[in-house]
């Protein structure tokens, strides 16, 4: 019981120019016809879902588009990630991490908003994974690892919500 004060937590929501810019005028919104890979990340129960569509030619991402249901950071990060990966080779794209995205935002996000950046890179990993599977290419180790982590997280969320809804029903009985 009780709360121990450790340090001041800064959770003041001031969005950086970069976030506002991409939220107001997101780049690359929409679907791609016959995409080489599709990545879906997030969960509708938590309020963040991103669909990422990739067109890949000669091991290079030639086009990327997205559709996102989510908050301002989720939408902005979706747009930012599509801009970052366009024209990149697959191995370059695979190296992009949430830290790169956070750096690009140019301002620390409050802890509660970090998951919105993870959403965008997770969609990227999932889209690349989908491409490797569809093209029957050997899947890079890192990608395999990320894919497993993403699946695990989703399962946890779904389980948590199943319990939550069960609990709710019991309360309402």
Partner 1 sequence: MMKVYMDYAATTPVDPRVVKVMQTFFSEKFGNTMSLHRWGREAKQALEESRESIAKLMNAKPTEIIFASSATEANNQALKGIAFANRKKGKHILISSIEHHCVLESANWLEQEGFKVTRLPVDEYGIVHPESVEKSIRPDTILVSIIHANNEIGTIEPIAEIGKICRERGVYFHTDAAQSYGKIPIDVERMNVDLLTASSHKMYGPKGAAALYVREGVNLEPLLHGGGHEFGLRSSTVNVTSIVGFAEAVKLCKKEMKKESKRLTKLRDRLIQCTLQIKDSHLNGHPKKRLPNNANFWFAFIEGESLVMDLDAHGIAASTGSACSTEKLEPSHVLLAIGLKPHEAHGSLRLSLGRWTTRKEVNYVLEVLPRSVKRLRKISPYKGKWE
Binding-site member from 37, 64, 68, 122 for partner 1 (CB under 8 A): 68
Residue 135: CB atoms within 10 Å: 10
Q: How far apart are CA 149 and CA 160, in angstroms?
A: 17
Asked if residue 26 binds partner 1 (CB under 8 A), the reply is yes
| Beta carbon nearer to partner 1, 48 or 94 | 48
For 137, the enclosing helix (H) or strand (E) is none
Asked if residue 139 binds partner 1 (CB under 8 A), the reply is no
Asked if residue 44 binds partner 1 (CB under 8 A), the reply is yes
Binding-site member from 22, 51, 86, 147 for partner 1 (CB under 8 A): 51
Asked if residue 162 binds partner 1 (CB under 8 A), the reply is no
Any idea which residue has 């080489």 for tokens?
Answer: 36
Binding-site member from 89, 92, 139, 161 for partner 1 (CB under 8 A): 161
User: Which residues is 66 bridged to in the sheet?
Assistant: 29, 52
Q: How far apart are CA 129 and CA 147, in angstroms?
A: 7
Residue 22: CB atoms within 10 Å: 24
Asked if residue 17 binds partner 1 (CB under 8 A), the reply is no
Binding-site member from 16, 27, 45, 89 for partner 1 (CB under 8 A): 45
Asked if residue 4 binds partner 1 (CB under 8 A), the reply is no
Asked if residue 83 binds partner 1 (CB under 8 A), the reply is no
Asked if residue 24 binds partner 1 (CB under 8 A), the reply is yes
What is the DSSP annotation of 20-57?
HHHHHS-SSBS--SS-SEEEEEEETTTTEEEEEEEEEE
| Beta carbon nearer to partner 1, 87 or 110 | 110
| Least separation in angstroms between CB 46 and partner 1 | 5
Q: Confirm if 146 and 93 have CB atoms less than 8 A apart.
A: no
As given in the structure block, the two tokens for residue 170 are: 């019991």
**∠ CA 46-48-53 to the nearest 5 degrees?**
145
Which residues sit at the interface with partner 1, rule CB under 8 A?
A: 1, 15, 20, 23-24, 26, 29, 44-51, 67-72, 74-75, 112, 115-116, 161, 164, 168, 171-172
């Amino acid at each position: 019981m009780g709360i121990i004060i450790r340090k001041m937590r800064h959770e003041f929501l001031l969005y950086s120019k970069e976030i506002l810019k991409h939220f107001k005028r997101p780049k690359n919104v929409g679907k791609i016809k016959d995409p080489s890979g599709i990545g879906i990340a997030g969960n509708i129960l938590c309020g963040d879902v991103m669909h990422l569509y990739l067109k890949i030619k000669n091991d290079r991402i030639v086009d990327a588009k997205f559709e996102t249901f989510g908050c301002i950071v989720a939408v902005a990060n979706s747009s930012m990630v599509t801009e970052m990966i366009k024209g990149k080779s697959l191995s370059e794209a695979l190296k992009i991490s949430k830290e790169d995205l956070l750096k690009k935002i140019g301002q620390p996000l409050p802890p509660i908003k970090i998951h919105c950046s993870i959403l965008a890179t997770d969609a990227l990993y999932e889209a690349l994974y989908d491409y490797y599977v569809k093209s029957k290419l050997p899947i890079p180790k890192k990608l395999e690892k990320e894919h497993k982590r993403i699946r695990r997280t989703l399962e946890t969320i779904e389980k948590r919500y199943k319990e939550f809804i069960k609990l709710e029903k019991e309360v309402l009985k």
